Each structure stands twice: as structure tokens, then as C-alpha cells.
Amino acid sequence: MMTEAFWKTKRLEDLNPQEWESLCDGCGLCCLNKLEDWDTGEVAFTSVSCRLLDGTTCRCSDYPNRQAIVPDCIQLTPQEVHDITWLPPTCGYRLVRDGEDLYWWHHLISGDPETVHQAGISARGRTVSETEVHVDDFEDYLVDWPLTVGKR
């Protein structure tokens, strides 16, 4: 008998730690700096990455110590996933939050952590580190590709 995939049957709150971690597709998009319009609250992505993001692997280069180095790094929790409005539409946590299935390129579907990059979803190769850009110039790096959704 086939069992349904956990992300289709469980709420975020009910995932065990291993399931929770596996929902991240490794896109790196949440590690990009964002600009918020103070009047409208609208959030826009930039291609300027957090200083700890490895622009090739799209992984945090010092995950265990990240919060000592980047104090505003967000530790995603079910509550955070419900509250944050800017998670990219491809984010595994957002999809499960919204009752949607994962995309074909998610490693839990494809079995391959490289497919998120091959599908052009991730930040691989298209970021610049915040160590190289003055914060006043971030608006020159506004991008809309973190909001792009590939084919199902």
C-alpha cells in the first residue's frame, strides 16, 4: 500500500525535525536582502545576498554560528512561516502552508538536490554579496526572479 507523502498530509506544526529540514529546497532565496516600502509595506527582492550565503551552493557557509554573525537571520518556525509575507512562491514551507504540492524540481520529488538549480529556481550564480555593495545602493539590485515560479 502506498502512503501519502508527509507534506501532503501533515501541517507544518506536526512535522518532525527531519521532515521540517527536508522541506527546504536549498534555493537560497530567503537569504537575499529585501527592501520594504515604508508606505505600502511591499517587499521587493534584491540580488544582494547575505554575507554568509555561498552564491554557488546556495547554502549558508556557517549555519551553526549564523545568528552570532547575522543577528537578523530568521530562524523559520511554523509560526514564522504563517506570519512572513515575503517567502518566495516556490518555498517548500510556503507551499505546504498554503496546502500546495511541491514542484517537480524539489529534492523530495526529484530525489536530487541539484534539480532546484537546474530548473533555474535557485539563487545560484546570480547574486552579489552584501560585503561588496553599500546598503544605499541595494535598490540598484532589485530583481523579480525570486518571485518566478517554474512549470509544475
Q: How far is the CB of 49 from ligand SF4 (least distance, A)?
A: 7
Q: Does 27 bind ligand SF4 (CB under 6 A)?
A: yes
Which one of the spans 1-9, 39-47, 50-58, 135-143 is the region binding ligand SF4 (CB under 6 A)? 50-58
User: What type of residue sits at position 95?
Assistant: L
**Angstrom distance (rounded) from CA 12 to CA 33:** 25
Q: How far is the CB of 126 from ligand SF4 (least distance, A)?
A: 14
Q: Does 130 bind ligand SF4 (CB under 6 A)?
A: no
Q: How far is the CB of 1 from ligand SF4 (least distance, A)?
A: 30
Residues of this chain that bind ligand SF4 (CB under 6 A): 24-31, 50, 52-53, 60, 66, 70, 73, 76, 87-88, 91-93
